[in-house]
Amino acid sequence: MSISMSIAHLRAAYAAGTIDPAAVMADIRARAAQYQDRNIWIHLLSEAEQAPWLAALAQKDPASHPLWGIPFAIKDNIDLAGIPTTAGCPEFAYTPQASAQVVQQLIDAGAIPVGKTNLDQFATGLNGTRSPYGPGRNAFDPAYISGGSSAGSAVSVALGLASFSLGTDTAGSGRVPACFNNLIGLKPSRGLLSSTGLVSACRSLDCISIFALTADDANTVLASAEGFDARDGYSRENPFHNRSRQYGLREGMLKVGVIPADQLRFFGDEGYEQAYAATLEALHGLGLEFVEIDYTAFNEAALLLYEGPWVAERYIACQPLIDEQPEAIHPVVRAIVAPGGEPRATELFKAQYRLEALKQQCLAQLAQVDCLLTPTAGRLFTVDELLAEPILYNSQLGYYTNFMNLLDMTAVAVPTAFTEAGLPFGITLVGHCFSDRALLSIANRIQQGLGLPLGVPGATGEAGPGSALSRSRVSDPEWIDVLVCGAHLEGLPLNWQLTERGAVLKEKTRTAPSYRMYALAGGPPLRPGLVLDEQAGQAIDVEVWSVPACAFGSFVAGIPAPLGIGKVRLADGRQVSGFICEPCGLDGAEEITAYGGWRAWLSSRQA
């Protein structure tokens, strides 16, 4: 049976009646046996264990349940009711009575759990080899690592054993496995997904993450998984600009930050270095403009995660075992976590002071671009390499990832190329917190532009994104373009109303040849009136300013009658919000259309 595993294709197959969820789950269980060498599962659900969730679908309308019948995998440090949670440590195992909040929301939306997946023990690692259930192995070549700690979660999706999966991400565990297995990996904003029912590695930093075949699928899952949870002290409300309806296909030129060549690290992997260069060339052709940023502060922040006092949080997560059964903990994990009981409170505060200073530097650079772009990882190691050098090589895997949660940033890993050896490579898009939909919209643009296969093509049934991705065009939801034509122009008396709200000049241009301009009666300040006249109008010089969406309301509220904000057509046919004038405001006004713009008219008065 050949099944297309993307959410859109699977829902279409259900709607057409060509397959049903029970058959999909049976097929997954059968195919899972072919991949036992990948060490994907800690607990693959049986037919009997899945039966209650499948039966519940009969009471759910597919039209109102966006994940109806969609199979998903769960990292085994996230609770699923009635199924043991091990966190990769048999001695730690317990059986929860309730599912994690995120898992329950996905089930409520119609999704069907497939099983609990293998991980680096206690989510400590970026490689997938630190597990008593066997090292996680790459979906494309089992000689290579899967990436971790969310090892099995990524491989299950890449091999078509789930349409999406849940991982977690403290240091990069939702991104590195995505890169190594040709997937989208969303590390959401901290607090966007509830952590109730999660065995934390670092309570203050952890995120439940999402692996998916496409940016569309990641957005669909996020829409069902997100939500404020009063039981979770780190939960945060999602602002309007980051809601699901803001997702689409990002349009226009994009200014993207990249790391200078002398700060890039590929750790001897020529295939990845070449894939990164090819990626930048391809993305430049898709309308991305690259701006170099200094990576020094990002890297210094990254080093604080393991070399600073935050390792104490990992110690807290498994302290009972460290105190009572230290031999039950994987030796590499124990070597990392055990010293976490030693840092003093003074060390934590000193590190926090330094982190805040670094955060200011990093956010200042991020504010100059639409997003930062990095390689997701510098090298893809073999399993044998990681087993022989577990600390150093794992540290190298985190070079581009470890800073993210410490700096309260959001990220999406995107597959972009294959090496000559046929191994996946990808980049990560980085933004400030609550830029999830903006980043996913850019990822959508990249996936559509590059057209790579999804996961392992023969296993997922997906040769490429095709028409499955959203083509609804979106711009940056945190900024609103406003056309100004008079006293708000750069350097003129009311321009402060824009600049003091953080607005930036986007372009100087002209309207379509369909407008008449008047100097209104009264003042100071002198004010213009722009009026649409398709028959006798002409082009008028204007400026377009980008205003922070959070400041747009106060700006509009201060506009006096007879002026207001409406839609104005530019010379290239675009329509933007801009100043217009009510007809009643033209009483006593002087028509100045012939001057072609406000500045030219002002100059004529001074002559």
Which pLDDT value is given to residue 348? 85
Q: pLDDT above 90 covers what percent of the chain?
A: 85
Query: Quick one: how many helices (H) and strands (E) in the chain?
Result: 20, 21
pLDDT digits (tens, 9 = 90+) for 7-51: 999 999 999 999 999 999 999 999 999 999 999 999 999 999 999
Model confidence pTM above 0.85: yes
List C-alpha distances in Å: 67 to 33, 223, 226: 25, 10, 14
Which pLDDT value is given to residue 334? 86
| Band of residue 323 on the pLDDT scale cut at 50, 70, 90 | confident
pLDDT digits (tens, 9 = 90+) for 388-415: 999 999 999 999 999 999 999 999 999 9
What does the block give as tokens for 337? 């976590």
Q: Rounded to the nearest 5°, which phi and psi values hold at 498? A: -90, -50
The answer to whether residues 524 and 571 touch, using CB atoms and an 8 Å cutoff, is no
Same-domain check for residues 457 and 491: no
Average of pLDDT values for 518-528? 90
List C-alpha distances in Å: 152 to 39, 437, 585: 7, 26, 67
Which pLDDT value is given to residue 466? 61
**Based on the number of CB atoms within 10 Å of its own CB, is 370 exposed (0-12), middle (13-18) or buried (19 or more)?**
buried
Same-domain check for residues 185 and 140: yes
Q: Is residue 78 part of a domain?
A: yes
Q: Is residue 274 part of a domain?
A: yes
pLDDT digits (tens, 9 = 90+) for 425-460: 999 999 999 999 999 999 999 999 999 999 998 888
- Catalytic site includes residue 149: yes
Among 541, 514, 538, residue whose Cα is nearest residue 528: 541
pLDDT digits (tens, 9 = 90+) for 69-111: 999 999 999 999 999 999 999 999 999 999 999 999 999 999 9
Using the CB atoms, write b or e for 281-292: b if 16+ within 10 Å: eebeeeebeeee
What whole-number distance in Å separates Cα of residue 84 and Cα of residue 99? 11
Which pLDDT value is given to residue 344? 81
CA angle 511, 515, 519 (to 5 degrees): 105
Residue 324 confidence (pLDDT) above 80: yes
Same-domain check for residues 470 and 507: no
Residue 607 confidence (pLDDT) above 70: no
Q: Is residue 251 part of a domain?
A: yes
Mark which of 417, 439, 474 sits at the end of a domain.
474
The order of strands in the sheet holding 479-484 is: 504-510, 541-548, 479-484, 575-581, 563-569
Q: Is residue 132 part of a domain?
A: yes
Residue 318 confidence (pLDDT) above 70: yes
Query: According to DSSP H, which parts of 402-558 are helical?
Result: 436-450, 457-460, 496-499, 549-557
Mark which of 454, 474, 494 sits at the end of a domain.
474
What does the block give as tokens for 543? 């400026």
Same-domain check for residues 462 and 530: no
Same-domain check for residues 445 and 309: yes
Residue 272 confidence (pLDDT) above 80: yes
Same-domain check for residues 451 and 576: no
Mark which of 474, 501, 528 sits at the end of a domain.
474
What does the block give as tokens for 182? 């040709």
3-state secondary structure 233-299: CCCCCCCHHHCHHHCCEECCCEEEEECCHHHCCCCCCHHHHHHHHHHHHHHHCCCEEEEECCCHHHH
The answer to whether residues 64 and 71 touch, using CB atoms and an 8 Å cutoff, is no
| Band of residue 468 on the pLDDT scale cut at 50, 70, 90 | low
Residue 574 sits in a domain of what CATH number?
A: 3.10.490.10
Q: Which of 156, 173, 194, 546 is catalytic?
A: 173
Which domain, by its residues, includes 589?
A: 479-606
The answer to whether residues 209 and 174 touch, using CB atoms and an 8 Å cutoff, is yes
pLDDT digits (tens, 9 = 90+) for 121-131: 999 999 999 99
Among 371, 468, 457, residue whose Cα is nearest residue 412: 371
Q: Kindly report the number of other CB atoms within 10 A of residue 252's CB atom.
A: 11
Helix 101-108 to helix 215-225 angle (10° resolution) is 110
pLDDT digits (tens, 9 = 90+) for 534-580: 999 999 999 999 999 999 999 999 999 999 999 999 999 999 999 99
Residue 449 sits in a domain of what CATH number?
A: 3.90.1300.10
Q: Which of 4, 131, 149, 150 is catalytic?
A: 149
Lowest mean pLDDT among 218-222, 266-270, 425-429, 520-524: 520-524
Q: Which of 4, 75, 165, 235 is catalytic?
A: 75
Number of domains in the chain: 2
Average of pLDDT values for 499-517? 95
Q: Is residue 2 part of a domain?
A: no
Same-domain check for residues 545 and 446: no
Q: Is residue 1 part of a domain?
A: no
Q: Is residue 414 part of a domain?
A: yes
What whole-number distance in Å separates Cα of residue 529 and Cα of residue 521? 10
Which pLDDT value is given to residue 337? 81
| Band of residue 329 on the pLDDT scale cut at 50, 70, 90 | confident
Residue 471 confidence (pLDDT) above 90: no
Average of pLDDT values for 476-499? 95
pLDDT digits (tens, 9 = 90+) for 238-265: 999 999 999 999 988 899 999 999 999 9
Same-domain check for residues 446 and 489: no
- Catalytic site includes residue 75: yes
Which pLDDT value is given to residue 467? 56
Same-domain check for residues 470 and 484: no
Which pLDDT value is given to residue 407? 97
Length of the chain: 607
Same-domain check for residues 405 and 277: yes
Same-domain check for residues 525 and 444: no
Q: Is residue 240 part of a domain?
A: yes
Same-domain check for residues 38 and 172: yes
What does the block give as tokens for 308? 């600073």
What whole-number distance in Å separates Cα of residue 518 and Cα of residue 601? 10
What's the mean per-residue pLDDT of the chain? 94
Lowest mean pLDDT among 206-220, 300-314, 482-496, 580-594: 300-314
Run of H or E including 473: strand 473-474
Which pLDDT value is given to residue 469? 78
What whole-number distance in Å separates Cα of residue 135 and Cα of residue 119? 9
